[in-house]
Amino acid sequence: MTASAESVPHVAGGVVVEYNNLDIALVASGWSVVELLRGDVYNDRGDFVGYVHDALVLPDGDTTFVIVNVAGFLNIGEKLIGLPAGAFEINANGDLVLPNASKDNLKSLPRFFYARN
């Protein structure tokens, strides 16, 4: 049996928002941004390749990017990169994993910069 909430009003910023047929089990299986932030990122060989600096949801509401700090030795030469959330996996230990990644190939990706308003 799948838990769901039908027409359950939620309050977000004082505005009532309704979700129809919200699949609670699906929501509960998602990633907690609070737990991800500052979390370590490993490759599928178990090598540390960086840590989560931030997570961004694009204005379309459907696309999420994870901003990873690919730090050098003693955090010298650190670099922020942005990767789609779908590129990551969670292993049996609950670690965030980037399959086939290495620090070198991540450092070769374009640097991520926050937009200036």
Q: What is the pLDDT of residues 57-77, one digit of tens each?
A: 888 877 789 999 997 666 677
Q: Does 37 lie in the same domain as 10?
A: no
Q: Does 113 lie in the same domain as 63?
A: yes
User: What total of structural domains would you count in the chain?
Assistant: 2
Domain with 111 in it: 32-117
By CB atoms closer than 10 A (0-12, 13-18, 19+), residue 85 is middle
Q: Which residue has the higher pLDDT, 5 or 30?
A: 30
pLDDT of residue 58: 83
- Both tokens assigned to 31: 């990633």
Q: Does 26 lie in the same domain as 36?
A: no
User: pLDDT digits over 70-100, tens only?
Assistant: 976 666 778 999 999 899 998 888 889 999 9
Q: Does 49 lie in the same domain as 14?
A: no
Q: Does 37 lie in the same domain as 25?
A: no
Residues 96 and 52 sit within 8 Å (Cβ to Cβ): yes
Residues of the chain with pLDDT > 90: what percent? 36
- Both tokens assigned to 50: 């960086």
Q: Does 68 lie in the same domain as 40?
A: yes
